Amino acid sequence: MSLPEMERIEALLPQWVEESRQQCSYGKVASYIPELSKSPIGALGIHLINSKGYSVSAGDTKLSFTMQSISKVFTLILALMDNGEEAVFDKVGMEPTGDNFNSMLKLELVQPGIPFNPLINAGAIAISSLIAGKDPKEKSGRVLEFMRLLSNNQALDYDLDVYRSESATANLNRSMAYFLKDNGVLQGEVEDVLDVYFRHCSIRITCAELAQMALVLAHNGINPLTGEELIPRRYVQIAKTFMTTCGMYNASGEFAIQVGLPAKSGVSGGILTLVPGRYGIGLIGPSLNRKGNSIAGVALLETLSQEFDWSLF
Ligand code: DON
């Protein structure tokens, strides 16, 4: 009789991590945020947690890293909880772009000039301006508290070196934000909105914490370990749909074909993904492919998904 899946994962994962790790030498760590260029290029780690709280991990899972674009999934959810669907989709669209994550190409091409979706940089900056709070400090504080709640770690915090490094060099995001302000997409001061955005991108996390957050999404907003509803089901559905169509940027189509799971990557090399109703998964692999996704991380997820037939499609 074949072993239960979790036991097979446990037995095979260390070997698959080492095989996928070979890919690291074909990629590069992000350097446009200077602080990220210090990331260990050869690292790869993964953590899976199931509905009963049983977890398996392999590789460099002690490494912590900044959430970067992974945080956009949760600021979207918080903005939906704060404002409702109608107000959010008045300011951002629902369509993939096929362009790079930091592209502003389409902002001028279509009317109204709102970002195509909430997971590209322009869209996530628009979402930052929709987070409720009387000032940027309160808005950022609410985002951090939300991440702490979902990751079940009250100690989660910003990496201020990465935050400052991004804020000091973000000419492209800054120009995009001013453009959005002119288009009437952003509320409040542009620099205040950007501050909320840079802060949530700089939240430092581990694979285990990402996996815990993913587990809540895998259970439609309920933490299966406590039974508590943390996010309304409809907003999880919206977030998972964006993860599927736009979560891996302009490699989302390829990822849907090769892996077939909702996922979100960040330029630090993190990926959050999930198997609906079953697993939350967090991984780190700072060496990135040309589209900005973890090169070894994507390879590892391809192996796992194909081996266990996890694709939703
Ligand atoms: O705004 C930026 O460029 C970064 N803080 C986040 C970008 C990112 O993670 C894109 N991911 N693939």
The residue whose CA is least distant from atom 4 of ligand 1 is 68
**Model confidence pLDDT, tens digit, residues 165-191:** 999 999 999 999 999 999 999 999 999
> Taking all residues of the chain, what is their mean pLDDT, rounded to a whole number?
96
Catalytic residue, candidates 20, 55, 69, 202: 69
For residues 45 and 77, the answer to whether their CB atoms sit within 8 Å is no
Give the whole-angstrom CA distance, residue 198 versus residue 162: 9
**Which of 32, 119, 158, 201 to probe ligand 1 with, by most ligand atoms within 8 A of CB?**
201
Tell whether the model's pLDDT for residue 194 goes beyond 90: yes
Q: What value does the CA radius of gyration of the chain take, rounded to a whole number of Å?
A: 18
Catalytic residue, candidates 163, 235, 249, 279: 249
**Model confidence pLDDT, tens digit, residues 260-305:** 999 999 999 999 999 999 999 999 999 999 999 999 999 999 999 9
**Model confidence pLDDT, tens digit, residues 23-59:** 999 999 999 999 999 999 999 999 999 999 999 999 9
Both tokens of residue 119?
């997971």
CA 173 to ligand 1 center in whole angstroms:
10
The stretch 119-133 carries a mean pLDDT of 97
Both tokens of residue 229?
């509803």
Annotated active-site residue 72? The verdict is yes
What pLDDT is attached to residue 26? 98
Domains and CATH numbers, the chain: 3-65+206-224+238-308 (3.40.710.10), 68-201 (3.40.710.10)
**Model confidence pLDDT, tens digit, residues 202-258:** 999 999 999 999 999 999 999 999 999 999 999 999 999 999 999 998 999 999 999
Atom of ligand 1 minimally distant from the CA of 291:
12
Tell whether the model's pLDDT for residue 104 goes beyond 90: no
Neighbours of 153 (CB within 10 A): 16
* CB of 68 closer than 6 angstroms to any ligand 1 atom: yes
Both tokens of residue 258?
């090769």
What pLDDT is attached to residue 106? 81
AA letter at 123: G
The stretch 69-95 carries a mean pLDDT of 97
What pLDDT is attached to residue 100? 83
Q: 234-238: long-range contacts at Cβ-Cβ below 8 A with a sequence spacing of 24 or more?
A: 234/85, 235/77, 235/80, 235/81, 236/77, 238/76, 238/77, 238/80, 238/85
What pLDDT is attached to residue 2? 57
* CB of 173 closer than 6 angstroms to any ligand 1 atom: yes
Give the whole-angstrom CA distance, residue 116 versus residue 106: 8
Annotated active-site residue 197? The verdict is yes
pLDDT band of residue 1 (cuts 50, 70, 90) is very low
Atom of ligand 1 minimally distant from the CA of 124:
1
Both tokens of residue 43?
């690292």
For residues 260 and 25, the answer to whether their CB atoms sit within 8 Å is no
Annotated active-site residue 163? The verdict is no
Annotated active-site residue 17? The verdict is no
What pLDDT is attached to residue 113? 86
Atom of ligand 1 minimally distant from the CA of 292:
12
Annotated active-site residue 279? The verdict is no
